[in-house]
Amino acid sequence: MRLKDKVALITGAASGIGKETALLFAGEGARVVLTDVDESHGQSVAEQCGDHASFIRADVSQAGDCEAMVLHAEKTFGKLNVIFNNAGIMHSDDGDAEATEESIWDLTMAINLKGVFFGCKYGIPALKRARGGSIINTASFVALLGAATPQLAYTASKGGVLAMSRELAVIHARENIRVNALCPGPLHTELLMKFLDTEEKRQRRLVHIPMGRFGEAREMAQAALYLASDDSSFVTGTEFTVDGGITAAYVTPE
């Protein structure tokens, strides 16, 4: 039980990485608060997590929702130890600088970047009240590498998450609050598969992954478990890359 006695809040917990993380954390003894804009799936995942789980609807782009989700965690389970700011979108109209509409840029930034800021803004006081804790912010390998398949707003938002996480780690290091960015590689989840919607697009991405496959949401959950638990007690400010080798590769094997 690697998260015994810990209370963890997970955003975007209705699907993909967030869902697998909620299930894994609950199995490791944590009490979990799940949040998402998708109430029906969020509620259903909370039920699968067992007795020590609670769902609250929260849109991470809304300050009031983020404040409420943190208060809900403390009210329901008495404290908050772990925040996984994981909710994110990848819009199909996100392209290069010429093609991307301002509205797509603003929406992506509001959820992917401001949403993480709000999670930290309202979550950090709760972690201080608990005398420390761990924050995990989901960035992406695209914050580290450029790609010819453009998704400019998404990439810029994830670069922001990475830089913000690093700075927060430094600011709060003496308060026993660790902050790490999780940088997943391309995953076999709805988010990416909707974007790579043809076999040709999928193959174009796969050819760059040394392991020759997409990652699974469960593999990101395992990484989040390490960062959430005391196993990573000296780990803060990292770009925790879990990507099948994509950021290490210049040429991949045939």
Question: Site residues (CB under 6 A) for ligand NAD?
Answer: 11-12, 14-18, 36-38, 58-61, 86-89, 111, 138, 140, 184, 186-187, 189-192, 217
Would residue 154 show up in a list of annotated catalytic residues for this protein?
yes
Which strands, in side-by-side order, build the sheet including 53-57? Answer: 53-57, 31-36, 7-11, 82-85, 133-138, 177-184, 239-242
Task: Give every CB contact of residue 132 below 8 A, 6+ residues apart in sequence.
Answer: 81, 175, 176, 177
Which residue, 15 or 165, has its beta carbon nearer to ligand NAD? 15
197: helix, coil or strand? Answer: coil
As a whole number of angstroms, the distance between CA 121 and CA 61 comes to 12
Which residue, 173 or 248, has its beta carbon nearer to ligand NAD? 248
Which residue, 57 or 79, has its beta carbon nearer to ligand NAD? 57
Q: Minimum distance between the CB of residue 213 and ligand NAD, rounded to whole angstroms? A: 12
Residue 124's Cα: distance from chain center in Å?
16
Q: Which helix (H) or strand (E) holds 204?
A: helix 199-206
Which residue, 107 or 235, has its beta carbon nearer to ligand NAD? 107
> Which residue's CB comes closest to ligand NAD?
16
Q: Minimum distance between the CB of residue 11 and ligand NAD, rounded to whole angstroms? A: 6
Q: Minimum distance between the CB of residue 53 and ligand NAD, rounded to whole angstroms? A: 16
- Which residues are the active-site residues? 154
